């Protein structure tokens, strides 16, 4: 149990900082035992602060891990009655209006397992300061609205740490015997969370970029020597990002140097520190034989994301952490746009939405549901959520849809110009959009304050005589913690109407409804309906025949759409909708519809006094729909312009997590059984087509990370996974051959995964052999070994929990590396629904034990892997009781961190 009640911080209680810090001068002296940090801050009272009568006190943030050596004001050492240190606060009494504060502290980064502040990863020292890590390095006003110019000198042993990095430009360096030092100066004001420091024995790949105004920027990516052959793709992605941001947003890079450092032990994906991005190795390293295509795409997206933060985050930053979505939502949208520009727009959109549905919708429906701008938190690290990031991006995307591309750009230009160098709020962002375009987004602001996933019920009515089609939309939003009743949202709903031949009809709409017509490049027509009421009707005129509506094209709002489509409608939309996203969506909905019926049949049979065998025949319309998708791909032959990535997406059934999300009471076993049954039916009925695709999509001997090559491999590997569903000797032989001859990790991993997930005799015989070969081949590649752990952890076959427990004893396993921990424990709890939710509660007990163990080492990560246990409300009473029992066991643990305490207590 926690001692005392942790403090709940409220957004409404924001007050401006009492003091400002003009300059920050740091000297960090790194040693193996004690590292000292000397800080000289030029401070003054903040004229904007609400002056508390008579108070001239200054309160600084620090950590229990700081050992304070000295405190001086204007050069004079303070005596013990002039300050006090209580827990994580240093109070200085009666400080002058402006003064120089000099503190000196000792820290032990090598003992820091939380990976916040300064810590050691392998042989190098590095930092992570967002959100509140800087206070573990020195006493400071550690809040994003205190901006300062930093100058940092790093001292360390020359032999072990030849590379010493910090933000900005290096202006001076020198040597003293076995030690050396480098001074870095950052000309831009920044909050402490953007501070970074690295000391290590690193190699570097260098390149350069000329900005649109003609300035040359030096680009460097650093990694440990054994990884330096894997930074090429990151470098290409960086240059593409820099170019794209100039073209799409008119944003140019501002320093003379941009550095990325790859770090093995890192809590997050990557961090946008000014001029010195620090990356989890998993988000920057890529080499064909060690990295899957998804890994390549992730590198491109994350490199872009962190680079784009230089403007949306660094030049314009957040006033307080409640505004996190200001930088994250906007920047995720920017990285999504970038990925779309580099690859297939439709496939990117499909993936973005699939992620939103799998990660954010459950959050919105769970005990931790919060608006994209939360109202309170105990531990800010718990709010780096899919809601703040992914839904935040959807909200900014909706503004873009409402305004249109050009007006949106006017809005972002005004936002950057008006707030450059400031710490601002989401409100400032919305105001800039309004002011640049003379539009009122008052009602739209509810997306920032209301949690929950809205449901839109749509109904269409055709009047043949009047030649009108009336589309009636009704919206509602389920209650979420602290928010019982919701006000209607302002939603852009993009709609097209299909004729019986499958063509888009010309659209005209009556009434005073604002409807922007959009004509796509290929000439199809859609309108964007501004849907603002609880219930609203939109009348289309001059409609020659009853149409099939295509609603929510491009997923124009993050909602759940209900429309009484028939299975035949879905098949029609799948083959005719001009909107690629809705074509995919129709296929997904058809599959959901079919699987849900099978689930209901399974449950009914089970509920009989004597369990009966259920009718779980698969609706053959789904099989024909899949057949025609495959036939199209076969007809395209080897035509390189054919979008195989999209076909691959169409062939993937909705995930078990998303199917679970759609059920009131989740039945993990029935979901798994029904979905597997459909997979088997597809595999059996369509074997010839799948085999043809597999052969047709065979590649050459060189690896290319292009969209068309990735699409080819995706499609081929999906065909393989279906073929293996039957577990026959021929398919196992195909997997084996692919495993042995693959030239890239996507193909290697797909082959071994298909075997690992199969219970067929032929697969069982070769499984351990393949796993062993794989391990031995990649023993020294940490990221590949992560993959090796994950593929075993997510296997849906019985007995996987025992495998996971055995793997924890494997010499390559450690709780201290977040990637490794996530690859086994996180993957098991988060992706292996059937085994984690085993009705004997063993999965829950296992996760709870791991959370308790990890919390003592790294609270941030413990809190992150906790998610699956908190969603007990969606399960049957037996599982609910088992999950709550484990949550209570965690809560009863001594010295629980605020991170875990907040999530567990809120979820109970």
Q: Residue 156 CA to chain centroid, in angstroms?
A: 35
- Our CB check for Zn ion shows the closer of 328 and 902 to be 328
Active site residue 306: yes
Spatial contact of 497 and 469, defined as CB atoms under 8 Å apart:
yes
Give min distance, CB of 242 to Zn ion, in A. 17
Spatial contact of 832 and 794, defined as CB atoms under 8 Å apart:
yes
- Our CB check for Zn ion shows the closer of 224 and 328 to be 328
Nearest to 100 by CA among 77, 81, 82: 77
Give min distance, CB of 130 to Zn ion, in A. 9
Burial 40-67 (b: 16+ CB within 10 A, else e): bbbbebbeeeeeeeeeeebebbbbebbe
- Our CB check for Zn ion shows the closer of 328 and 363 to be 328
Give min distance, CB of 533 to Zn ion, in A. 35
Give min distance, CB of 396 to Zn ion, in A. 13
Nearest to 480 by CA among 375, 323, 583, 634: 375
- Our CB check for Zn ion shows the closer of 671 and 861 to be 861
Q: Residue 112 CA to chain centroid, in angstroms?
A: 26
Q: Is 94 exposed, middle or buried (0-12, 13-18, 19+ CB in 10 A)?
A: exposed
Residues 6+ apart with CB under 8 A from 58: 18, 19, 43, 91, 92, 95, 101
Helix (H, G, I), strand (E, B) or coil at 284: coil
- Our CB check for Zn ion shows the closer of 101 and 303 to be 303
- Our CB check for Zn ion shows the closer of 303 and 751 to be 303
Nearest to 346 by CA among 505, 166, 125, 555: 555
Rounded distance, CA 903 to CA 908, Å? 9
Rounded distance, CA 200 to CA 180, Å? 12
Percent of residues in the chain assigned helix, strand, coil, to nearest 5: 45, 20, 35
Give min distance, CB of 128 to Zn ion, in A. 13
Locate the DSSP E strands across 559-647.
560-562
Rounded distance, CA 529 to CA 75, Å? 65
Q: Is 78 exposed, middle or buried (0-12, 13-18, 19+ CB in 10 A)?
A: middle
Give min distance, CB of 254 to Zn ion, in A. 18
Rounded distance, CA 372 to CA 391, Å? 7
Rounded distance, CA 771 to CA 592, Å? 34
Spatial contact of 524 and 577, defined as CB atoms under 8 Å apart:
no
Q: Parallel, antiparallel, or unpaired for β 216-223 and 257-263? A: parallel
- Our CB check for Zn ion shows the closer of 276 and 718 to be 276
Give min distance, CB of 301 to Zn ion, in A. 11
Nearest to 336 by CA among 349, 355, 346: 349
Q: Applying CB under 5 A, which residues contact Zn ion?
A: 328
Q: Residue 303 CA to chain centroid, in angstroms?
A: 13
Give min distance, CB of 272 to Zn ion, in A. 6
Q: Is 238 exposed, middle or buried (0-12, 13-18, 19+ CB in 10 A)?
A: buried
SS (H, E, C) 451-484: CCCCEEEEEEEEECCCCEEEEEEEEECCCECCEC
- Our CB check for Zn ion shows the closer of 328 and 619 to be 328
Give min distance, CB of 304 to Zn ion, in A. 11
Rounded distance, CA 826 to CA 847, Å? 9
Give min distance, CB of 889 to Zn ion, in A. 34
- Our CB check for Zn ion shows the closer of 266 and 626 to be 266
Rounded distance, CA 150 to CA 314, Å? 14
- Our CB check for Zn ion shows the closer of 311 and 469 to be 311
Give min distance, CB of 373 to Zn ion, in A. 16
- Choose the catalytic residue: 132, 306, 394, 524: 306
- Our CB check for Zn ion shows the closer of 328 and 390 to be 328
Rounded distance, CA 618 to CA 681, Å? 7
If you compute the radius of gyration of the chain from its CA atoms, what whole number of angstroms results? 28
Which residues are tagged catalytic? 306
């Amino acid at each position: 149990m926690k001692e005392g009640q942790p403090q709940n911080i409220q957004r409404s209680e924001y007050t401006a900082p009492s003091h400002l810090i003009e300059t920050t001068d740091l000297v960090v002296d790194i040693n193996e035992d004690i590292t000292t940090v000397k800080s000289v801050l030029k401070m003054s009272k903040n004229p904007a602060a609400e002056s508390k009568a008579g108070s001239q006190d200054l309160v600084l943030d620090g950590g229990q891990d700081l050992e304070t050596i000295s405190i001086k004001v204007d050069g004079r050492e303070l005596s013990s009655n002039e300050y006090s240190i209580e827990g994580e606060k240093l109070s200085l009494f009666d400080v002058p209006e402006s003064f120089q504060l000099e503190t000196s502290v000792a820290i032990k980064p090598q003992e820091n397992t939380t990976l916040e502040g300064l810590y050691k990863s392998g042989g190098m020292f590095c930092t992570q300061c967002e959100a509140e890590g800087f206070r573990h390095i020195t006493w400071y006003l550690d809040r994003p609205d205190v901006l300062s110019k930093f100058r940092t000198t790093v001292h360390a042993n020359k032999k072990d740490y030849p590379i010493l990095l910090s933000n900005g430009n290096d202006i001076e360096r020198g040597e003293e015997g076995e030690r050396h030092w480098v001074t870095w100066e950052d000309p831009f004001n920044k909050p402490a969370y953007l501070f970074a420091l690295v000391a290590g024995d690193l190699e570097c790949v260098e390149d350069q970029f000329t900005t649109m105004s003609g300035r040359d920027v030096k680009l460097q990516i650093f990694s440990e020597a054994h990884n330096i052959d894997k930074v090429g793709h990151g470098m290409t992605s960086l240059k593409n990002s820099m170019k794209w941001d100039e073209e799409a947003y008119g944003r140019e890079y501002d320093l003379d140097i941009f550095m990325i450092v790859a770090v093995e032990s890192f809590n997050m994906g990557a961090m946008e520190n000014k001029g010195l991005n620090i990356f989890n190795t998993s988000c920057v390293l890529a080499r064909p034989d060690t990295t899957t295509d998804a890994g390549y795409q992730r590198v491109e997206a994350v490199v872009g994301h962190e680079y784009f933060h230089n403007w949306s985050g660094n030049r314009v930053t957040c006033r307080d952490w409640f505004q996190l979505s200001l930088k994250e939502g906007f920047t995720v949208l920017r990285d999504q746009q970038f990925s779309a520009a580099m690859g297939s727009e439709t496939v990117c959109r499909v993936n973005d939405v699939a992620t939103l549905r799998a990660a954010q919708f459950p959050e919105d429906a769970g005990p931790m549901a919060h608006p994209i701008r939360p109202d309170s938190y105990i531990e800010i690290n718990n709010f780096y959520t899919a809601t703040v990031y992914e839904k935040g991006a959807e909200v900014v995307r909706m503004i873009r849809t409402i305004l249109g591309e050009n007006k949106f750009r006017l809005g972002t230009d005004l936002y950057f110009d008006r707030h450059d160098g400031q710490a601002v709020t989401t409100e400032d962002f919305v105001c800039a959009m309004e002011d640049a375009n003379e539009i009122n987004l008052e009602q739209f602001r509810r997306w920032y304050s209301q949690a929950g996933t809205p449901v839109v019920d749509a109904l269409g009515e055709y009047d043949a005589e009047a030649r009108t089609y009336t589309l009636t939309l009704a919206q509602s939003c389920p209650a979420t913690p602290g928010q019982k009743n919701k006000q209607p949202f302002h939603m852009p709903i993009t709609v097209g109407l299909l004729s019986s031949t499958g063509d888009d009809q010309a659209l005209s709409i009556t009434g005073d409804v604002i409807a922007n017509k959009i004509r796509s490049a290929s000439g199809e027509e859609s309108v964007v309906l501004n849907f603002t009421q609880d219930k609203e009707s939109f009348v289309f005129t001059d409609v020659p025949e009853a149409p099939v509506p295509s609603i929510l094209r491009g997923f124009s709002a993050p909602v759940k759409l209900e429309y009484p489509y028939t299975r035949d409608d879905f098949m029609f939309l799948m083959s005719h909708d001009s909107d690629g996203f809705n074509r995919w969506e129709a296929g997904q909905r058809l599959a959901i519809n079919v699987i849900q019926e099978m689930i209901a049949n399974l449950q009914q049979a089970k509920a009989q006094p004597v369990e009966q065998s259920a009718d779980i025949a698969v609706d053959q319309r789904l099989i024909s729909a899949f057949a025609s998708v495959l036939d199209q791909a076969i007809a395209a032959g080897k035509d390189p312009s054919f979008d195989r990535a999209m076909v691959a997406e169409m062939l993937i059934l909705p995930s078990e997590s998303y199917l679970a999300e759609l059920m009131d009471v989740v039945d993990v076993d029935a979901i798994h059984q029904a979905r597997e049954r459909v997979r088997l039916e597809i595999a059996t009925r369509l074997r010839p087509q799948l085999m043809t695709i597999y052969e047709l999509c065979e590649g050459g001997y060189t690896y290319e990370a292009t969209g068309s090559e990735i699409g080819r491999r995706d499609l081929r590997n999906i065909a393989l996974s279906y073929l293996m569903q039957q577990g026959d000797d021929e398919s196992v032989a195909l997997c084996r051959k692919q495993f042995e001859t693959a030239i890239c990790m996507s193909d290697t991993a797909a082959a071994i995964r298909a075997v690992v997930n199969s219970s067929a005799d032929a697969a069982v015989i070769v499984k351990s052999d393949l796993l062993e070969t794989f391990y031995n081949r990649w023993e020294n590649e940490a990221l590949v070994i992560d993959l090796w752990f994950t593929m075993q952890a997510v296997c849906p076959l019985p007995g996987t929990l025992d495998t996971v427990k055995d793997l924890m004893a494997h010499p390559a396993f450690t709780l201290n590396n977040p990637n490794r921990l996530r690859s086994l424990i996180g993957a098991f709890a988060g992706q292996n629904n059937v085994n984690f939710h085993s009705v004997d509660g063993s999965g829950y007990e296992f996760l709870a034990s791991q959370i308790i163990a990890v919390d003592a080492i790294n609270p941030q990560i413990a809190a992150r892997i906790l998610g699956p246990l908190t969603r007990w409300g969606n399960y049957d009473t037996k599982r609910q009781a088992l999950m709550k029992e484990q949550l209570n066991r965690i809560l009863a643990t001594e010295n629980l961190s605020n991170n875990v305490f907040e999530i567990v207590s809120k979820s109970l």
